[in-house]
Amino acid sequence: MDLDILRRSAAEIAALAVYDLYPNVELIQARISATGFEVEFSFPHPLHPHLIEERMRRIVQERRPIRLLEMVPFSAYELLRSQGRARLLPDEPLVQVIQIGDYYNYSPGRHVKNTAELSAFKIKAELLGEGRMRITGWCHQSKGDLKSFLKRLESYREPRHVGEMMGYWKGDVWYAPGIRVREKLIQFLKEEWFDGGLEIEGPSQADPFVQHRLHQSRKVVERNGGEIRVSFFGSTAEEKISSLHLIAKTLTILGFDRSIFSTGFMVEDGIGRSHRLVVVDSRGGDFQVRADVRLILEQMLEKNLMGVLENK
């Protein structure tokens, strides 16, 4: 099962548990997050997370069916308004409303069929001020998987913080060690992807003469801040495929042995979040490759791949 499906349903089950306990709360949002799910409420009194978690477990044990209703926006709005959850809905022919017993909510996307499928979860709660509260939760398909994930999460250090500890950067400010390793990575990417193109630096979109000159070059490598872009003009399908293979090879050389292509090249970090290191934008015979240098360096730090650059 796709973990996002389970997370999406878990958020709705958590919201239902809160409504069961505190009928007068106002639901702000129930959504999946990068590592689990989140539910935000507005309520003048404190909510007790241990009671919410107990109620969620009861809802799971009761094996309540989960239905997805496709409705026209007006009907969906009236239904949610009758539940005290009126909200703006997208202007689409049909919208999707989840139903768990007497609970309804606008919730586009796939869901599990029964609450019993949420067999392993954990939540915590935090006050956001002004009467708002957030429930953050995590769920997996088995208790063993959840326990393993929570253990990784507890010891996980964000790579941007690791970079700060190493003196590479502080926020958006780069320090000398970080600048050196950044320039080394950019030079490596240019050598891999340049191959006879025109190299420029700075914005180039506004000047028609510059644009004409760029298209005549067929391949352009552009440096713009912490991003490097390679634009290919008038490319054939075979040239595009060849370029994508070259990008994959480059990431492999850097140590990313499991990059996944989905409108770009994705890698997964130590707590299961996906990061798009390279974005590919294709339009007709033209396409552009954009590499986020800061993000690549952060993922190299996490995966202990920085030694690769020392040999470049």
DSSP character string of 125-138: EEEEETTEEEEEEE
For the chain, strand residue ranges (E) read 26-32, 37-42, 67-71, 95-100, 103-106, 120-129, 132-140, 169-170, 173-174, 198-201, 219-224, 227-232, 260-261, 264-268, 274-283, 286-292
> What string of pLDDT tens digits covers the 312 residues of the chain?
689 999 999 999 999 999 999 888 888 899 999 899 999 998 877 788 899 999 999 999 999 999 999 999 999 999 998 887 777 788 889 999 999 999 999 999 999 999 999 999 999 998 888 888 999 999 999 999 999 999 999 999 999 999 999 999 999 899 999 999 999 998 888 888 777 677 777 655 545 555 555 666 677 777 776 788 887 777 788 878 888 888 888 889 998 876 566 678 888 899 988 888 998 887 766 788 889 999 999 999 999 988 877 766
Q: Is the dihedral of CA 31, 32, 34, 38 positive or negative?
A: positive
Measure the CA–CA gap between 7 and 33, rounded to whole angstroms. Answer: 8
Model pTM above 0.85: no
Question: Would you state the pLDDT for residue 274?
Answer: 87
pLDDT (0 to 100) of residue 288: 82
Q: How far is residue 72's CA from residue 94's CA, in Å, rounded to a whole number?
A: 5
Return all residues near 133 (Cβ < 8 A) that are at least 6 apart: 40, 41, 42, 43, 46, 47, 125, 126, 127
pLDDT of residue 148: 95
The pLDDT value given to residue 118: 96
CATH of 3-155, one of 3.30.980.10, 3.40.50.720, 3.40.50.1220, 3.30.70.1230: 3.30.980.10
Give the tokens for residue 17: 């548990």
Q: Which DSSP category does 228 fall into?
A: E
Which residue in 49, 40, 45 sits closest to 133, CA to CA?
A: 40
* Boundaries of every domain in the chain: 3-155, 160-310
Provide CB contacts within 8 A for 87, sequence distance 6+: 77, 80, 106
Radius of gyration of the chain (CA): 24
Predicted pLDDT of residue 218: 72
pLDDT of residue 237: 81
DSSP 37-68: EEEEEE-SS---HHHHHHHHHHHHHTT-B-EE
Q: Please give the C-alpha separations between residue 304 and each of 134, 179, 292, 307, in angstroms, as whole numbers.
A: 34, 18, 18, 7
CB atoms within 10 A of CB 279: 15
For residue 290, the number of C-alpha atoms closer than 13 Å in the C-beta half-sphere is: 11
Q: Which residue has the tokens 């954990």?
A: 122
**Distance (Å, whole) CA 28 – CA 42:** 7
- H-type helices in 167-236, by residue range? 176-193, 208-217
Please report which helix (H) or strand (E) contains residue 159, including its range.
helix 159-165
CA distance 46 to 17: 15
Phi, psi of 277 (to 5 degrees): -75, -35
In DSSP terms, 215 is beta-bridged to none
